[in-house]
Amino acid sequence: MNNDIVVLKGITKKYNEHGLAINNINLSAKSGEMVAIIGESGSGKTTLLNIIGGNIKEYSGHYRLQGKDFNSLSNREKAEKKNKYIGYIIQDYGLIDDQSVYNNVKLPLLFNQDININQIRGLVMSVLEKVNLSKLTDRKVKQLSGGEKQRVAIARAIINRPALVIADEPTAALDTSNTFKIMELLKKINVEEGVTFIIATHNKKVAEMCNRTIVLQDGKIVD
């Protein structure tokens, strides 16, 4: 067995009669790699990430996650894989604005059957420390800055110690200085914990901080 965590073979996705969003993509990512996906708006980045993240189930071709054909899993197994092995960071954060930092970050633990209720507080506090949010634990998300919200989203994405983190334009809403800080943080998690990252971005600087860059155009890998 090799150490590929994600292997896509001949993946094609058609939303409707107008052309292919993803056109016959072959791609693999090794465990511990940080891969950037760049390409113009509409080139298929989000679609590709949604296939890898298990959010899109209708496509042709084969997708193996940690050596297992993803689409052959039962719905229950898929949901479990998504919660335990995949962390997802999206551009507009996907947080519950009216809830505290603590409650947002805790959420994935509630769906993890390996976690005992009295482990929750310790796990949340330790991940908040990692993203430097210990002081904002009880603050409502709607009262945070963009960079702080992004760090809450990262904390929530990594709390179950996933093998793979998928990030769709994780820095799009941030200024240059915060973009750099967030990328440093992701890189640190990547290097220190061996978490694999697949990151879609428009930002060249973000791509440069990754190990490898894949360029999408019209649903195809062109570089």
Interacting residues toward ligand ATP by CB under 6 A:
15-16, 21, 39, 41-47
Find the shortest distance in angstroms from Cβ 56 to ligand ATP. 9
Question: Out of Mg ion, ligand ATP, none, which partner does residue 42 contact, by CB within 5 to 8 A per kind?
Answer: ligand ATP
Q: Which residues contact 144 (CB under 8 A, 6 or more apart)?
A: 101, 136, 152
Nearest distance in Å: CB 148, Mg ion = 23
Task: Give yes or no for residue 43 binding Mg ion (CB under 5 A).
Answer: no
**Could you say which of ligand ATP, Mg ion, none residue 44 binds, taking C-beta under 5 to 8 angstroms by partner kind?**
ligand ATP
At closest approach, how far in Å is the CB of 123 from ligand ATP? 32
Sequence-separated (6 or more) residues with CB below 8 Å from residue 201: 36, 37, 38, 169, 170, 171, 172, 207
Q: How far is CA 188 from each of CA 32, 64, 90, 145, 150, rounded to the nearest angstrom?
A: 12, 26, 19, 22, 16
Which position among 23, 43, 46, 83 is part of the footprint of Mg ion (CB under 5 A)? Answer: 46
Residues 223, 77: contact at Cβ < 8 Å? no
Shortest approach of ligand ATP to residue 222 CB, angstroms?
13
